[in-house]
């Protein structure tokens, strides 16, 4: 098994190394999607299958029907609610992540050995998109030490 070395382009805000982000706590353990769904939008399952440690309650795996129902609740909630307006791009490595908070539609990845073509005309950002990024960072008190911009980066993971 090898190490991937991927190229990536995105428009976003480079976050200073060591910055604690709203989802970087014990409850969400760095998972921005769980933070968004549970913490920001307030989703709650109608029943639980996991204990506080993330194991099946009483150590017993529920039936496939119950598992399907559990995950279906979240999928339906996600479909009916506001989508996470940003995506995290790791611009360093799996062991030592450095993050860019990016606009999802701007992310282009190229896996080693699989070049991706793109049209440079796609590299345009509307004022509305810029405002969305600024508003997200402001609302969730994410310090921006630089302005959003296009980033060409790599990921070693």
What's the pLDDT tens digit per position in 11-63? 999 999 889 999 999 899 999 999 999 999 999 999 999 998 889 999 999 99
95 plus 115 within the same structural domain: yes
Q: Give the residue from 152, 157, 156 showing the smallest Cα distance to 11.
A: 152
- Range list of β-strands (E), the chain: 5-14, 87-90, 99-102, 108-110, 149-156
Question: Domain range holding 105?
Answer: 5-21+86-156
The length of the chain is 157
Mean pLDDT (whole number) for 74-100? 95
**Residues 61 and 123 grouped into a single domain:** no
Q: Which of 120, 157, 118, 151 is nearest to 133 (CA)?
A: 151
Indicate whether 143 pLDDT > 80.
yes
Q: Of 124, 132, 128, whose CA–CA distance to 150 is shortest?
A: 124
Residue 3: pLDDT band with limits 50, 70, 90: confident
Q: How far is CA 25 from CA 29, 65, 127, 156, in A?
A: 5, 32, 32, 24
Q: CA 124, CA 127: separation in Å to the nearest integer?
A: 10
The answer to whether residues 92 and 144 belong to one domain is yes
Count of other CB atoms within 10 angstroms of residue 39: 16
Tally of structural domains, the chain: 2
Regarding whether 102 and 128 lie in a shared domain, the answer is yes
Cα–Cα distance measured from residue 153 to residue 109, given in angstroms and rounded to the nearest whole number: 10
Q: How many CA atoms lie within 13 A of 58 on its CB side?
A: 4
Q: Kindly tell me if the per-residue pLDDT of 1 is higher than 60.
A: no
Q: What six digits make up the tokens of 139?
A: 């609302």
pTM score, two decimals?
0.89
Tell me if 37 is assigned to some domain.
no
Give phi and psi for 141, each to the nearest 5.
55, 45
Please list, in sequence order, all residues whose beta carbon lies within 8 angstroms of the beta carbon of residue 74, skipping any fewer than 6 positions away.
37, 43, 45
- Residue 118, domain member (yes or no): yes
pLDDT at 2 (0 to 100): 64
């Amino acid at each position: 098994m090898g190490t991937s070395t991927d190229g990536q382009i995105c428009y976003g805000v480079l976050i200073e190394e060591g910055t604690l982000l709203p989802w970087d706590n014990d409850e969400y353990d760095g998972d921005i999607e769980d933070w968004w769904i549970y913490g920001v939008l307030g989703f709650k399952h109608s029943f639980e299958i996991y204990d506080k440690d993330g194991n099946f309650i009483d150590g017993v795996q529920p039936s496939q029907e119950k598992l399907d129902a559990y995950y279906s609740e979240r999928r339906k909630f996600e479909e009916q609610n506001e989508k996470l307006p940003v995506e995290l791009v790791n611009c360093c490595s799996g062991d030592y992540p450095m993050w860019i908070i990016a606009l999802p539609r701007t992310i282009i990845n190229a896996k080693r050995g699989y070049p991706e073509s793109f049209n440079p005309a796609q590299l345009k950002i509307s004022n509305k998109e810029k405002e969305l990024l600024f508003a997200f960072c402001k609302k969730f008190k994410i310090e921006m030490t630089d302005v959003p911009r296009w980033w060409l980066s790599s990921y070693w993971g």
